Structure 1
Amino acid sequence: MYNPFFASMVLALEAQRVIELRLVRLAWGGREGRAEMHSMVSEKVWAAVEATGTMMLGGTPNQIIARYREHVAENTKRLTAA
């Protein structure tokens, strides 16, 4: 996608599904809820580190958004498979 604004809007829409799935898993609680809580935090930290590295190496906002969309797609697949 060439327009960073449009790409970020698509990312926001796709992320809503992951947020929904994670909230359900957290609401159920138990071992799966705790595991999801920990993975959610660690994934966000690593994604921020990855984005910072990409920017420091001359990456574009579109590259960062595309990588975040890959993370979101992986999480959607993981959370809907269970």
Structure 2
Amino acid sequence: MNNYWFNMWLLGAESQRVVWLRMWKMSVGGPAALAEANLMLQEKIDTAGQSAFRLAMGSSPASIVSNYRRKVKANERRLSR
């Protein structure tokens, strides 16, 4: 259970960096900002749906958090370039 809470804490910290990177990108404006906003919205809808399905199928909350962290890390890598 401690690993779950630690991963929740890491998810929060990593997510804050992605929020900052996205806001930086969107503050510039233009087509890239619009594309990022659309991507962000679509990712949130898709991931929430996947998480709900996985929970309904019996996945553990820890695996859901791990999935979110994987997606956040991918966004961080993409936005950091």
Quickly name the TM-score band, shorter chain normalised.
Answer: over 0.9
C-alpha RMSD of matched pairs (Å): 1.3
Aligned residue-pair number: 81
Runs of 4+ off more than 4 Å? none
Deviations 1:9-57 (A, max 9, x none): 1100011110000000110010100000000100000010010011011
Give distance in 2, aligned partners of 1:68 and 1:79: 16
Give distance in 2, aligned partners of 1:15 and 1:38: 18
Normalising to structure 2: TM-score of the pair?
A: 0.94
Match of 1:72 in 2: 72
Normalising to structure 1: TM-score of the pair?
A: 0.93
Give distance in 2, aligned partners of 1:67 and 1:34: 26
Give distance in 2, aligned partners of 1:3 and 1:55: 19
Aligned amino acid, residue 61 of structure 1: P
Give distance in 2, aligned partners of 1:8 and 1:41: 22
Match of 1:58 in 2: 58
Give distance in 1, aligned partners of 2:54 and 2:8: 17
